[in-house]
A = this chain, B = another copy of it.
Amino acid sequence: MSEVYTARRQRLRERCDAVGSTSALVSRPANVRYLAGAAPQGSVLLLGRREDLLVCSGPREDRPVDGRPDDALRLHLLPGSGGDPAVAAAGLAAAQGGDTLAIEEHHLTVARYRAIGSVAPGLRLTELGGAVEQLRVVKDEEEISFLRTGAEIADQALGELLESILVGRTERHLALELERRLVDHGADGPAFPTSVATGPHSGRRGHRPTDRRVEEGDFLTVCMGAAYRGYRCEIGRTFVIGTSPADWQIELYDLVFAAQRAGRESLVPGAAYRDVDRAARQVLGAAGYSEGLPVLTGHGVGLEIDEDPQLAPAAMGKLDACVPVTVEPGVHLPGRGGVRIDDTLVVRPEADGGPELLTITTKELLAL
């Protein structure tokens, strides 16, 4: 595994060289993990002029660690509660003879920035920007295999829930049960807080489970995912409770399904992010739903549940192969409820069979 991390750091170093920076300070946890194999709480990664260091604070005891730090990377432990690793790393960068330090301005706070300036006044601070986030967009096959396993776990957990009796149970309980099942099946934990939305709540993005109970005739929207070896996937489905859905439910479901399919089918290497969004959005718009739609149709997933790219109207850029994204359009009618359908897929060339669907739970409208 170590070669993977070394290669990733090498690619970042090339970016730094290109902008004339002798060293870089990576502080955003998912970026640290991507480059170092693990991100102990509060740790930062220094790409130094002579050596790379994972700088951690506090005794090991207090630092929960996900993943395992790359063996090829030296750990620099600050003594006791010995201050801010970012500030210490800047001092170490200067000690290695670096004259510039590229920092993640979108993550580092103003206070830490000032402290770095005081500790290493000779260092010129430049902007690393989203360089690591950009490296993270295209996944290797191992990363994709972790996402695939996570998706299998989520499918299993959801499948088991559907076999149980749902009427009368609260959103909160269903969400907790799903999270327990994720862990039962080997997930590190939920990829994000599980959303269970019933009746008038259904179809809302990011709905937080309440004490509302499932009732006959409800739409039930579940959105969940598993974290597996740090990688986070997402699946969302909407069901009907009871024997036969109402006409408006069938119509709305078919519409969102058509929009989601249009989005999925537009996932080809070279497609503009905004065109994927438009493909789904215009299906909904043609049916009269253009107000109040979610601001995006989907997003990248990986070490974070919401990462680049954004599949949204104003997004710039084009899809590459091996980019995993969600496609998750939805419509919510205030007071009545709605539908969301959400898959995680990996962009693949047509020659390889087109987009790879990771979340394979059926998208038929099930009446439970």
Report A's interface with B, CB cutoff 8 A.
Answer: 41, 58-59, 61-64, 66, 80-81, 103, 105-111, 113-114, 172-173, 176-177, 179-180, 183-184, 204-208, 292, 294-296, 312, 314, 332
Nearest residue, chain B, Cβ from A296: B81
Nearest residue, chain B, Cβ from A206: B64
Complex CA gap A288/B31 in Å reads: 40
6 new A-B pairs (CB below 8 Å) besides A58-B295, A62-B206, A108-B110? A59-B292, A59-B294, A81-B295, A108-B109, A176-B183, A177-B180
Please indicate the chain B residues that have their CB under 8 angstroms from the CB of A208 in the complex: 64, 66
Complex CA gap A21/B92 in Å reads: 37
Nearest residue, chain B, Cβ from A41: B206
Nearest residue, chain B, Cβ from A187: B172
Complex CA gap A113/B62 in Å reads: 31
Please indicate the chain B residues that have their CB under 8 angstroms from the CB of A173 in the complex: 180, 183-184
Let me know if A62 and B111 touch, CB within 8 A: no
Let me know if B183 and A61 touch, CB within 8 A: no
Nearest residue, chain B, Cβ from A330: B61
Please indicate the chain B residues that have their CB under 8 angstroms from the CB of A107 in the complex: 109
Nearest residue, chain B, Cβ from A82: B295
Let me know if B295 and A62 touch, CB within 8 A: yes
Let me know if B109 and A114 touch, CB within 8 A: no
Contact with A64, one of B108, B109, B114, B207 (Cβ below 8 angstroms): B207
Let me know if B172 and A183 touch, CB within 8 A: yes
Please indicate the chain B residues that have their CB under 8 angstroms from the CB of A103 in the complex: 110
Least CB distance from A188 to B in Å reads 9
Please indicate the chain B residues that have their CB under 8 angstroms from the CB of A177 in the complex: 180
Nearest residue, chain B, Cβ from A66: B208
Please indicate the chain B residues that have their CB under 8 angstroms from the CB of A41 in the complex: 206
Complex CA gap A61/B64 in Å reads: 34
Least CB distance from A24 to B in Å reads 15
Please indicate the chain B residues that have their CB under 8 angstroms from the CB of A114 in the complex: 105
Complex CA gap A168/B130 in Å reads: 46
Please indicate the chain B residues that have their CB under 8 angstroms from the CB of A109 in the complex: 105-110
Most interface-central of A61, A66, A208 (chain B CB within 10 A): A61
State the 4 A-B residue pairs at the shortest beta-carbon distance, nearest first: A105-B110, A81-B295, A105-B111, A106-B111
